[in-house]
Amino acid sequence: MKITIIGTGYVGLVTGACLAELGNDVFCLDVDQKKIDLLNSGGIPIHEPGLEEVVARNRAAGRIQFSTDVAASVAHGEVQFIAVGTPPDEDGSADLQYVLAAARNIGKHMTGFKVIVDKSTVPVGTADRVTAALKEELATRGAAASFSVVSNPEFLKEGAAVEDFMRPDRIVIGHDNSPEGEKAAAKMKKLYAPFNRNHERTFWMDVRSAEFTKYAANAMLATRISFMNELANLADHVGADIEAVRHGIGSDPRIGHSFLYAGAGYGGSCFPKDVQALERTARQYSQDLLILRAVEAVNDKQKLVLGRKVLARFGADLSGKHFAVWGLAFKPNTDDMREAPSRELLRQLIDAGATVAVYDPVAMAEAKRVLALDLTPEELARVRFADSPMDTLTGAEALIIVTEWKAFRSPDFDRIKAALAHAVIFDGRNLFEPEAMAEAGFEYHGIGRSILTRT
Ligand code: UDX
Give the pLDDT means over successive 10-residue stretches in the chain (455 positions).
96 98 98 97 94 97 98 98 90 90 97 96 95 97 95 94 96 97 98 92 97 97 98 96 97 97 96 94 95 98 98 97 98 95 98 98 98 98 98 97 97 97 98 96 96 54
What pLDDT is stored for residue 455 in this prediction? 39
What pLDDT is stored for residue 92 in this prediction? 78
Do residues 345 and 402 lie in contact, with contact meaning Cβ atoms separated by under 8 Å? yes
Is 270 tagged catalytic? yes
- Which residue puts its alpha carbon closest to atom 19 of ligand 1? 266
Buried b (16+ CB within 10 A) or exposed e, 306-331: bbebbbeebeeebeebbbbbbbbbbb
- In degrees and rounded to multiples of 5, residue 443 shows phi and psi of -90, 120
Same fold, 2-205 and 222-454: yes
Fold for domain 2-205? Rossmann fold (3.40.50)
Between the CA of 32 and the centroid of ligand 1 the distance, in Å, is 27
Bridge-based pairing of strands 147-151 and 355-359 is unpaired
Please report, for residues 105, 215, 299, the alpha-carbon distance to residue 210 in angstroms, rounded to integers and kept in the order given.
24, 9, 26
Helix (H) or strand (E) holding 234: helix 207-238
Model confidence pTM above 0.75: yes
How many CA atoms are closer than 13 Å to the CA of 100, on its beta-carbon side? 13
> E-strand spans in 43-152?
64-67, 79-82, 114-118, 147-151
Do residues 316 and 353 lie in contact, with contact meaning Cβ atoms separated by under 8 Å? no
Taking alpha carbons only, the member of 205, 183, 65, 194 closest to residue 116 is 183
Between the CA of 213 and the centroid of ligand 1 the distance, in Å, is 16
What is the spatial distance between Cα 244 and Cα 249, in angstroms, rounded to a whole number? 9
In the chain, domain spans: 2-205, 222-454
Between the CA of 157 and the centroid of ligand 1 the distance, in Å, is 7
Between the CA of 229 and the centroid of ligand 1 the distance, in Å, is 14
Render pLDDT for 250-286 as a digit per residue (tens, 0 to 9).
Answer: 999 999 999 999 999 999 989 999 999 999 999 999 9
What is the spatial distance between Cα 411 and Cα 415, in angstroms, rounded to a whole number? 9
Work out which ligand 1 atom sits closest to the CA atom of 224: 33
Residue 394 annotated as binding site: no
- Which residue puts its alpha carbon closest to atom 7 of ligand 1? 155
Helix (H/G/I), strand (E/B), else coil: 398: strand
- Which residue puts its alpha carbon closest to atom 17 of ligand 1? 157
Ligand 1 in contact with 404 (CB < 6 A)? no
| Per CATH, domain 222-454 is 3.20.20.100 | no
Ligand 1 in contact with 341 (CB < 6 A)? no
- Cα-based torsion angle of the residue sequence 405, 410, 412, 414 in order, rounded to the nearest 10 degrees: 120
